[in-house]
Structures are given as C-alpha cells and as structure tokens.
Amino acid sequence: MSTPTLDPTASAQAEKFDPTVIERRSASVGQLFRDRVARTPDTEAFRYAAGDDWTSVTWAQAKERAYRLAAGLITLGVEPEDRVAIASSTRYEWALADLAVMCAGGATTTIYPTTIAPDVAYILANSASRVVFAEDDDQVTKLWERRVDLPDIGHVIVFEGAADGEWVLSLADLEQRGAELLATNPTAVDDRIDTQTADQLATIIYTSGTTGRPKGVRLQHNAWTYQAAATDAIGILSPKDLQFLWLPLAHVFGKFLLTLPLQVGFPTVIDGRIDKIVDNLGVVKPTFMGAAPRIFEKAYARITMMMKAEGGLKEKLFLWSVSVGREVAEMRARGEEPTGMLAKKIALADKLVLHKVRERFGGRIRFFISGSAALNQDIAHWFDSIGLPIIEGYGLTETSAASFVNRPGANRIGTVGWALPGTEAKIAEDGEVLLRGPGVMEGYHDKPEETAETKDAEGWLRTGDIGELDDRGYLKITDRKKDFFKTSGGKYVAPSLIESTFKGLCPYVSQFVVYGAEHNFVTALVTLDADAIKDWADTRGITGDYATIVRSDQTREMVQNYIDTLNVNLNRWEQIKKFVILDHDLTVEDGELTPSLKLRRKAVSEKYRDQLDALYDG
C-alpha cells in the first residue's frame, strides 16, 4: 500500500494542546465515569424533560442510579464483555443504561428504535447479547415476535411499559435487584470497574448498512477514553459549557457526545424528540450542539424563505447584514478584527438583525458541530456570518466517531479540520483516506475477512472516503470511494459533492440523488421538503397536497431553474440533464435513509430504477 509522503503531524505543529491529558486518561469508561463523579459530585450532569418541566441530575445522583442498575445486571449474570443491547430513542434512561453496562463490565450493543424485528433479531443474535434494554411496549413486541430466534436473551428491561416480572422486567425491578446486591456487597460494582482494562470490549455498534447487511464494529474502552481525552486536550470545551443532545445514541456520533462530558465535566440536556429541537434550543440555551447537515439545511432554508416572503426593506436589511457578517467572519478567520467603518457596520448589523437570528437558537451557542455527512459550504458560510459557526468534523463508526475536527479558532470551511492528537492520517495513491490511532476499531464482530480487508497489519484503516491533506494538516473529503461512478463516455462523477452543492442552492429540496452510471448523461431524483414547498405553493396560489404540488408545472420550473444554476459550475459531463420529482419524500422507515439521515444510495437507486432509467428513453 504505497502512499505519497505526507506529514501526519502537521496539525499538531499548528496548534497547542496538552498531551498529558491523553497520557493520563482513564483505562475504561467505567473508571472515567467514577473519576468524574469523584471530582464534581454535586455539579449538574444531566437534564431531561419530565412532561412540561425539566429535571436536573447531579453526577452523584447519576452514579447512584447507574450503580444500582449495574448491580442489577450483575444479578442477571452479566459478566465482563457480555453484550447488553439498548433498543431505544435518545432519552435519559439510555444514558443510565449505558453507564450501568460500562460499570458492570459489559459491552453495549446499540439498536435504533426504528429497526424492524428481523434486523433486531439479527443484531442480537450476531452480537450474542444476553440482556436487552427496551424503550417501550413496541420494542418489547419486536422481541416477543422473534423470541424463538433469541435463546441467549435472558431478560428484557423495559424503560416504560408492561413487565411480567420474569422475562420482561421494569427498570424499577432491575434497580431493586441491584439495591439488594449492594446492601450485602457494597463494592460489587466498584470491583467490576477496578478489573476493567483498556483493551476490553466496550461497545458493538452496527454500521448503518448503506450497502449490504450491517457489520458490528467492536470498539474497546481505550477508543472511547482516547476520544474523550483527545478532544479535551485541544481545549474547545470546558465544564462551563452546556450540551443539548438529541442525536441518536445508537449512532457513533451520539455515543461519542455522551462519553465526552464524562471527561470534560459539562452538563448535558437530553431530549431525542426531533420535533422539539427548535423549541428546546430557546428553552435550554445550550453553548454547543452536534447535528447532521440536514438540520442546518432545514434551518437555513426556513429562515431565508421567511426573509424572502417578507420582501422589501426587511429582506434587503437581512441580506446586507449577512453580507457584512460574512466579511467580518472571513477577517476573523485570518486572525484580524474589523476596524473603522466596518466595525460600525457590523455593530449595526448585529443590533438590527444578526443577534435576533442567534436568539432563535438560544442566544448562547458558541459553535455547532456537524458530522455524519458533508456540509454545504454556502450554508456553513451563512451560519458563520450570523455568528453561529459550524465546526465540521469527520470520522466513522470504525474510528469511534471523531478523527478530524475543525477548531473554533482555526475553522477552515470546506474541510473537516485537523486530526485529533494521536490520530495519524495519510492519503493512498488512489486518493483514499487512511487512518491509524487509538480510536480505530478492534475489528468487525465475528468477521475476520472483512476486518482484514479494512484494517491492515500495521493498523491503517481504509475509510472508503476520497480526500486531500493540505500542508497544514487540514483534511478535505471529496466523496465516498464507492459512490463514484463512470458515465458511458468514460468520465468519473462524484455525486456527493454535486448533491451537497444543490442543497445549498435550493431551499426547498429535501433529497437530491445524482444518477448516471454507465449512461451517457447524468440525471437526478429529487424530493422536496414538505413544509417548505407548501409555504412556497401558498404564495403562488397552488393548492392541494404534497403530491399535487410537486406535480405542478410551476414546481418543475422552479426546480429546473435551480438545476440550471447548479449546472453553470459543473463540468459538461457532470451536468444534470433530466430529473424526476418524487411525489413523496425519502424516509428512514422505508429503508431509503439510515437512522442518522444518510442516503442509502444503493437501495434508492434500485427502488426507483424504473423512474430513473425512463429518463434515458429515446
């Protein structure tokens, strides 16, 4: 595997960080949690919604419940590295269950709540899970349906729902069992934590399955404690921060953001209700939040469309303010500050417009973190202009989330930033990004051949992504290696970049899928955002449901105009010649998107092949 000579330490030379934070990291997540509680027992650890109110929990209170649950797992026969699954949406109980598994010495297996029963059974059987935490009766029903296929599952613990006291226990039942054990053996949980080692299995996270059946990624304790310590070492967060966490905790990004506060000590507000994100931002007032690009795309589209609908002076003032904000943001990225007339203009723009937009996001955001997929650069610049910088990062399930991340003081839009200290990177001759470091997986569970194909004997992981490293260590991801396709004319097309660009141009788009392998020109499948297109239609007197609106000539003309704008900056062989608008959006439930909202390209291409191929007729 020959590679160009590149300096993997370029980022380390460009920034200052404390290497001792990484060197003295805890051996396990259980130890990390216990150490955090010992340092700051009475400070806030978590906050979660309880009806219309919020309940706050200190680190000491979280430990008390987590220990009881961990002891309960021990009474169920959970031994070190035994798999304990969690099938639930993002909620405080998910965090408690995970901490309990870590403290009991088990290994968490994550399952998205939207996963269908046969796939749940596959994951549980493949991982050899012994116990399952289930969110509610719906999740328990999936397990009952497949119980004959799950002989290793000794018990199910339900967060809220019916328990039979035998196979299905309530959370209270488990806590009671744990309390009884701790009454007779107070050190039962601490004894488990004391014996944990860095190379012990902590988590199995199954890949999204954008192609083929999901594989279980084995992540050791060392991967998580390294991730937390390396992020702490670069100093972008402090105990004074407040995180709002709504991302799926079954996803590696969410799991990372759940582990990070154990190291740094900031409190985390947990609420996985997607429809409450905007409302919660105004109430919670976090200082940072992680999200997938789709969230930023929707917020950008919503605000810009509102301003366009206002029209007149308000729209002009908004556009002027954003323009001034961008000029100042670009200056600050160079380490400069506005002076003279520009300083006066930004003060006025901020007073009249920009601060009002920031207030919609709670008014205290220092930065957002974007991961999971590529973020459109125009959208990133727009948020930066408002004073809401988005620092984009990069990583895989196989690297326990973060491998690269931009820094708030050195944010280069269009890149995913510098490597975390301790992570090495190089570019293979074919452009593939290779990574090595403590965050890289042990391997795929029970799949030695797939592991050997992905991770070589020297520890280098083939990411499957095409990228470039500049002379300062900034990494730019250009596309997924397997997503590249060749037209019948022999020209290569990188669909992800084109798709991301279009999302920055068209505020009404939801999904944009570029297609054209082995064809003589490129086409696209388009879906539109239901709320955005309804507002657009109302202003034009177009009536009817979503399907009626998207079939209208006006809608097609609107999409064509945005595609024409897109094509201006594309090579001739990349330009979108024809497109089809679906009469419905792509969904997780229909298997077209992963639970982290990434496109299942192969599934979508196959499902809508007839409609796409019809674009080439004649």
The tens digit of pLDDT for each residue in 10-34 reads 444 456 787 888 989 999 999 999 9
Do 357 and 308 belong to one domain?
yes
pLDDT exceeds cutoff 70 at 51: yes
Per the domain annotation, does 38 fall within a domain?
Answer: yes
Tell me which of 480, 503, 524 is where a domain ends: 480
- Is it the case that residue 179 has pLDDT exceeding 50? yes
State the Cα–Cα distance between residues 432 and 314, nearest whole angstrom: 47
520 vs 4 pLDDT, higher one? 520
CATH number of the structural domain spanning residue 513: 3.30.300.30
Domain presence at residue 220: no
Model confidence band, residue 310 (pLDDT cutoffs 50, 70, 90): confident
Report d(CA 369, CA 358) in Å as an integer: 16
Please name the residues in contact with 360: beta carbons below 8 A apart, sequence gap of 6 or more: 278, 281, 282, 303
Confirm whether 224 is domain-assigned: no
Band of residue 208 on the pLDDT scale cut at 50, 70, 90: low
Q: Residue 5 — pLDDT band, cuts 50, 70, 90?
A: very low
What is the share, in percent, of the chain residues with pLDDT greater than 90?
Answer: 71
Mean pLDDT of the region 472-478: 90
- Asked whether residue 275 is assigned to any structural domain, the reply reads no
Average pLDDT, the chain: 91
Q: Which of 456, 480, 504 is the last residue of a domain?
A: 480
Nearest one of 23, 61, 30 to 267, comparing CA atoms: 61
Residues 470, 518, single domain; the answer is no
Average pLDDT (576-588) is 92
**Helix locations, 216-292, DSSP H:** 221-233, 252-264, 277-284
Dist CA 124 CA 294 (whole Å)? 30
Residue 202 lies in a domain: no
> For position 212, what pLDDT does the model report?
57
Q: Is residue 532 part of a domain?
A: yes
The verdict on 294 and 437 lying in the same domain is yes
pLDDT of residue 491: 80
- Taking residues 54-68, what's their average pLDDT? 98
595 and 521, same structural domain? yes
- Per-residue model confidence (pLDDT) at position 19: 83
Q: What is the pLDDT of residue 447?
A: 93
Task: Read off the pLDDT band of 6 (50, 70, 90).
Answer: very low
Give me the mean pLDDT over the 486-492 stretch.
79
The pLDDT tens digits of the residues spanning 227-257 come to 999 999 999 999 999 999 999 999 999 999 9
CA dist., res. 374 & res. 414, Å (int): 9
Task: Look at residue 584 and tell me if it is in a domain.
Answer: yes
CA 278/CA 6 separation, integer angstroms: 43
Among residues 441, 463, 480, the one where a domain terminates is: 480
Q: How confident is the model at residue 419 (pLDDT cuts 50, 70, 90)?
A: very high
CA distances from 168 to 81, 151, 164, 178 (A): 22, 14, 5, 16
- Name the token pair of 317: 């003032």
State whether 169 and 105 are in the same domain.
yes
pLDDT at residue 53 greater than cutoff 80: yes
Q: Which of 39-53, 90-104, 137-151, 547-561 has the highest mean pLDDT?
A: 90-104
- Radius of gyration (Cα) for the chain, nearest Å? 25
Mean pLDDT to the nearest integer, 84-98: 97
Q: How confident is the model at residue 334 (pLDDT cuts 50, 70, 90)?
A: confident
Instruction: Give the pLDDT score at 79.
Output: 97
Cβ-based neighbour number of residue 7 at 10 Å? 14
Residue 443 backbone zone (phi > 0: left; psi -120 to 50: alpha; other: beta): left
Q: Give the pLDDT confidence score for residue 618 in this predicted structure.
A: 63
In terms of domains, do 33 and 71 share one? yes
Arithmetic mean of pLDDT, 433-445:
96
> What is the average per-residue pLDDT within 352-372?
93
pTM for the full predicted model:
0.84
Question: Could you tell me the pLDDT band of residue 7, with boundaries at 50, 70 and 90?
Answer: very low
Give the confidence band of 585 by pLDDT, cuts at 50, 70, 90: very high
pLDDT above 70 covers a percentage of the chain that reads: 96
Q: Specify the DSSP class assigned to residue 354.
A: I
Q: How many domains does the chain have?
A: 3
279: in domain = no
- pLDDT range class, residue 592, cuts 50, 70, 90: confident
Give alpha helix (H) positions in 428-494: 448-454
Query: What's 108's domain CATH number?
Result: 3.40.50.12780
pLDDT at residue 47 tops 50: yes
Report residue 433 as tokens.
């990004």
Mean pLDDT of 515-544: 90
Note the pLDDT of residue 365.
Answer: 96
Same domain, 261 and 313: no
Q: Are residues 93 and 40 in the same domain?
A: yes
Same domain, 476 and 499: no
Q: In Å, how far are 122, 159, 273, 560 from 137, measured between CA atoms? A: 20, 9, 18, 46
Do 578 and 452 lie in a common domain? no
Per the structure, the complete domain to which residue 578 belongs is given by: 485-615
463/545 same-domain check: no
Q: Would the pLDDT of 468 be above 50?
A: yes
Model confidence at 2, in pLDDT bands (50, 70, 90)? very low
Whether residues 419 and 436 share a domain: the answer is: yes
